[in-house]
Structure 1
């Protein structure tokens, strides 16, 4: 697994450099609130796909480090982040990959995604509100774009995946109980702690899905050669069920 992770991480790092060149560069400027920094002023779907890929690369590295340290409760939160980022990439890439109809919620998603956090130079006077596209609507778009006959079951599967690790993010009691070993709560956990072993068993599939989403991002951004390279690497590193060979 260590070697598989090292190869996959290097591939994603190299891929980011290629994807970055496929979209207009960020520019330095000042927001209405007086914040100076780099921004993608065009706010294009491709730029959003690239930024989501950056976030995914960070999250998969965080997951590996957290599990190595026995901090599987935080690892569960990283898995939830990876689930959401992956669905965002699939959602944003759909019109490029499947010819899916451009719906108004794509514009809503991009507006919210690129929105500044504050709209006033005095933070406490900010009145900024976010109008997010719900996970339910994103799942529905993904199923319409990539799904087959039984769209209802596919939607249910995506919903379960989305919900499975959300408790690690907001701290649900049932999830926190995974830190109990029958005698005491152990944080960080040792290597033989059963829930931690369960998380490690799933790590391969999260790494596989991260690479798959990078491949989708590359194809959506028109980087066909990079898509082919990533797709070939995936078939070499993983079996059809997403487990490392």
Structure 2
């Protein structure tokens, strides 16, 4: 039998593994406390598992599962040098974490109309009939991210300076947006070397790689 290693004896990679393992176990435990999802069908077509109770706890668990999966995906992308794609994954993680906090604080301090609208949009299906996607597409509603930032900055558990908190969240959000939407300054991070060219098979040797590793 081997003893558990103390945190100060572990490498960053081992700590990362341990943290993600703890997160995954937490998601499983929370999911087990909820009524289990059921397979949904439209006509004779099965479209996937869905929670029958479209509530806040179910939404939080789904978002938490996405965070854990995306942290692993970001790590794989970094290892192979796909730092732009990794940064896009960070935007997904950042938004999911904000959503978890937003929904959790609503449970603690009382859900608002903003929470109810968020949940309505979150659970909306893409199509009325998945066998006829073009004809039955449903326009998805959206709660502006700035409103979630404002709520997080001003809720009863927030710091005393909501303006700075909101501005910080929006700055991070916009920085990652360039990777999601393909802004030129972000795409040009792929260009360089000797001779200079676009690097499309990973950038493990790029001087930018360490910055993205630190970001993760």
Gaps of 5+ in 1: 204-245
Contact kept in structure 1, 2:56 and 2:119, CA below 8 Å: yes
Q: 1:95 to 1:190 in 2, by over 3 A?
A: closer
Instruction: Show the counterpart of 2:200.
Output: 187
Cα distance, 1:33 vs. partner?
9.6
Answer yes or no: is 1:122 the counterpart of 2:158: no
Instruction: Show the counterpart of 2:87.
Output: 76
Q: Deviations over 1:76-96 (max 9, x none)?
A: 110111111111111111123
Q: Deviations over 1:12-39 (max 9, x none)?
A: 2211211111222112232479544221
Contact kept in structure 1, 2:81 and 2:202, CA below 8 Å: yes
Contact kept in structure 2, 1:49 and 1:93, CA below 8 Å: yes
Q: Deviations over 1:39-68 (max 9, x none)?
A: 101101000000001111111011000000
Report how many residues are paired.
201
Contact kept in structure 2, 1:33 and 1:122, CA below 8 Å: no
Contact kept in structure 2, 1:33 and 1:119, CA below 8 Å: no
Instruction: Show the counterpart of 1:236.
Output: none
Instruction: Show the counterpart of 2:142.
Output: 132
With normalisation by structure 1, the TM-score equals 0.77
- Deviating above 6 A after TM superposition, structure 1's stretches of 4 or more consecutive aligned residues are none
Instruction: Show the counterpart of 2:9.
Output: none
Cα distance, 1:190 vs. partner?
4.3
Matches within 5 A, 1:215-226: none
Q: 1:49 to 1:106 in 2, by over 3 A?
A: same
d(CA) in 1 for partners of 2:44, 2:147: 31
Instruction: Show the counterpart of 1:233.
Output: none
Answer yes or no: is 1:7 the counterpart of 2:37: no
Q: What is the aligned-residue RMSD (CA, Å)?
A: 1.8
Q: 1:126 to 1:194 in 2, by over 3 A?
A: same
d(CA) in 2 for partners of 1:39, 1:64: 29
Which of structures 1 and 2 has the larger relative contact order (alpha carbons within 8 angstroms, sep 6+)? 1
Instruction: Show the counterpart of 1:113.
Output: 122
Kindly name which structure, 1 or 2, has the bigger radius of gyration based on alpha carbons. Answer: 2
Instruction: Show the counterpart of 1:143.
Output: 153
Gaps of 5+ in 2: 1-11
Contact kept in structure 2, 1:168 and 1:175, CA below 8 Å: yes
Give the structure with the larger helix fraction.
1
With normalisation by structure 2, the TM-score equals 0.86
Cα distance, 1:102 vs. partner?
1.8
